[in-house]
């Protein structure tokens, strides 16, 4: 099974900051990597699929990059509504697996 590891587990930042979250797969997953955002008490929401494709309606300050085993989610200028937990997920093969999450908190 493919293991997904995110770093950092938590991150403190301020509105307007640029932040980067990393995700590493235990084996190559090509570009079969998705990113989700989860606000407290809510269901996750898809942000990015295929490593770098922005879901329709997601603000352009979100971007994704990477292929193979190393991936990055970048938020170019943090907004108040972006403070949430972010998960990566591989969809190369079942069982699908998620990273453990990165909690983005206000500094």
Sites of contact with another protein (CB under 8 A): 1, 30-32, 34, 36, 42-46, 49-50, 53, 87, 89, 91, 94-101
Shortest separation between residue 72's beta carbon and another protein, angstroms = 18
Measured from the CB atom, the residue of 56 and 60 that comes closer to another protein is 56
d(CA 50, CA 31): 5
Shortest separation between residue 100's beta carbon and another protein, angstroms = 5
β-strands 102-106, 10-13 pairing: parallel
Phi, psi torsion values for 79, nearest 5 degrees: -110, 160
Shortest separation between residue 91's beta carbon and another protein, angstroms = 4
Measured from the CB atom, the residue of 48 and 75 that comes closer to another protein is 48
d(CA 51, CA 73): 9
In sequence order, the 6+-apart residues with CB closer than 8 A to the CB of 100 are 4, 5, 6, 9
Shortest separation between residue 15's beta carbon and another protein, angstroms = 26
């Amino acid at each position: 099974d493919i293991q997904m590891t995110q770093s950092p587990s938590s991150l403190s930042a301020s509105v307007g900051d640029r932040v980067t979250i990393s995700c590493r797969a235990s084996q190559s997953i090509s570009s079969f990597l998705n990113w989700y955002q989860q606000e407290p008490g809510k269901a996750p929401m898809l942000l990015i699929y295929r490593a770098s494709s922005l879901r329709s309606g997601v603000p352009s300050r979100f971007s994704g990059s990477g292929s193979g085993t190393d991936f990055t989610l970048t938020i170019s200028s943090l907004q108040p509504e972006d403070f949430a937990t972010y998960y990566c997920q591989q969809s190369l093969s079942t069982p699908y697996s998620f990273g453990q999450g990165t909690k983005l908190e206000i500094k």
